[in-house]
């Protein structure tokens, strides 16, 4: 009888020890990571935001900004957030654009189709080249005329490259002549050819272009 009473008394203690042991063991086991995204079959998409699309370190607006993708840039997506989000009245999922899933963009500004854009009507007009001046402080400019005449020079100087331009999608090809003056005030004309790619449309009055040598200029539509 005494043995039975002893067993009855120590059973709760044994069960308690077993529970503590199991809790310790479970705490030592590696916890399964909960992901807030789902891997998907890689596919190509294009940026539709004319001002560009921020790349972030995670699928939230609070995460760090890593860089900016230009309008119409092609990306490959590898994962999709589990929940949609509404940003600027646009609802969409977040997408990972690298295999490590540490580079994310908001999918509301992505499309399977390359977005169209009328670059030709955009570019016509006079543009100031931001931060570029001649030795006496006059603004460097570019002018794209509707009849495809082209000037790249300095405001109010009468000097520069005079020629023509054409555009294929977002790539501008310009050709012209630059007068080389000699001491007798006669001059030859040096042929100039170069190509510019519109890499970002910040708005209709501010764009960024990249030359074939990699140099980048920002152009602001002139108010003069």
Q: Are residues 123 and 217 in the same domain?
A: yes
Q: Are residues 63 and 127 in the same domain?
A: no
Q: Are residues 144 and 128 in the same domain?
A: yes
- In the predicted model, what is the mean pLDDT of residues 28-55? 83
What is the total count of domains within the chain? Answer: 2
pLDDT tens sequence across 139-198? 999 999 999 999 999 988 777 888 899 999 899 999 888 665 444 444 445 567 889 999
111, 128, 153 - which closes a domain: 111
pLDDT of residue 106 exceeding 80? yes
**What distance in Å separates the CA atoms of residue 57 and residue 72, rounded to the nearest whole number?**
21
Pairing label, strands 90-92, 216-221? unpaired
pLDDT band per the 50, 70, 90 thresholds, residue 35: confident
pLDDT of residue 31 exceeding 60? no
More confident call, 132 vs 30: 132
pLDDT for res 185: 42
Q: Tell me if 160 is assigned to some domain.
A: yes
Q: What is the pTM of this model?
A: 0.57
Contact indicator for 55, 204 with CB cutoff of 8 Å = no
HSE value, Cβ hemisphere, 13 Å, CA-based, for 198: 27
pLDDT for res 186: 46
pLDDT for res 181: 47
CATH of the domain at 83: 2.30.30.40
pLDDT tens sequence across 92-105? 999 999 999 999 99
pLDDT for res 61: 94
82, 111, 140 - which closes a domain: 111
Q: Are residues 54 and 100 in the same domain?
A: yes
- CA distances, 216 to each of 85, 93, 99, 136 (Å): 34, 32, 29, 23
End-to-end CA distance of the chain: 109
Q: Are residues 217 and 142 in the same domain?
A: yes
pLDDT band per the 50, 70, 90 thresholds, residue 10: low
pLDDT tens sequence across 51-84? 789 999 999 999 999 999 988 899 999 999 999 9
pLDDT for res 159: 76
Contact indicator for 148, 124 with CB cutoff of 8 Å = no
84, 111, 138 - which closes a domain: 111
Q: What is the mean pLDDT of the chain?
A: 83
Q: Are residues 106 and 162 in the same domain?
A: no
Provide the 3-class DSSP secondary structure of residue 119: helix
- CA distances, 133 to each of 140, 180, 213 (Å): 5, 20, 20
CATH of the domain at 130: 2.40.128.490
148-151 long-range CB contacts below 8 Å, 24 or more apart? 150/174, 150/175, 150/176, 151/176
Give the residue numbers spanning the domain of 182.
Answer: 119-221
By mean pLDDT, which of 1-10, 143-152, 211-220 is the weakest?
Answer: 1-10
Q: Are residues 134 and 161 in the same domain?
A: yes
Give percent of the chain with pLDDT exceeding 70: 79
């Amino acid at each position: 009888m005494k043995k039975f009473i002893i067993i009855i008394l120590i059973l709760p203690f044994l069960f308690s020890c077993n529970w503590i042991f199991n809790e310790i063991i479970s705490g030592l086991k590696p916890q399964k990571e909960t992901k807030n995204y789902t891997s998907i079959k890689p596919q190509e998409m294009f940026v539709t935001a004319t001002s560009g699309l921020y790349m972030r370190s995670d699928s939230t607006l609070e995460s760090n900004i890593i860089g900016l993708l230009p309008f119409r840039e092609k990306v490959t997506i590898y994962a999709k957030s589990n929940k949609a989000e509404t940003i600027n009245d646009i609802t969409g999922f977040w997408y990972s654009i690298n295999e490590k899933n540490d580079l994310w963009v908001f999918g509301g500004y992505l499309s399977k189709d390359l977005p169209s854009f009328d670059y030709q009507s955009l570019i016509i007009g006079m543009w100031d080249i931001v931060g570029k001046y001649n030795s006496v402080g006059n603004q460097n400019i570019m002018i794209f005329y509707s009849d495809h005449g082209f000037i790249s020079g300095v405001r109010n100087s009468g000097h520069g490259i005079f020629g023509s331009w054409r555009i294929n999608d977002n790539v501008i090809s310009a050709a012209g002549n630059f007068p080389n003056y000699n001491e007798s005030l006669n001059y030859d004309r040096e042929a100039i050819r170069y190509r510019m790619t519109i890499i970002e449309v910040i708005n209709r009055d501010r764009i960024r272009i990249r030359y074939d040598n990699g140099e980048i200029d920002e152009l602001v539509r002139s108010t003069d």
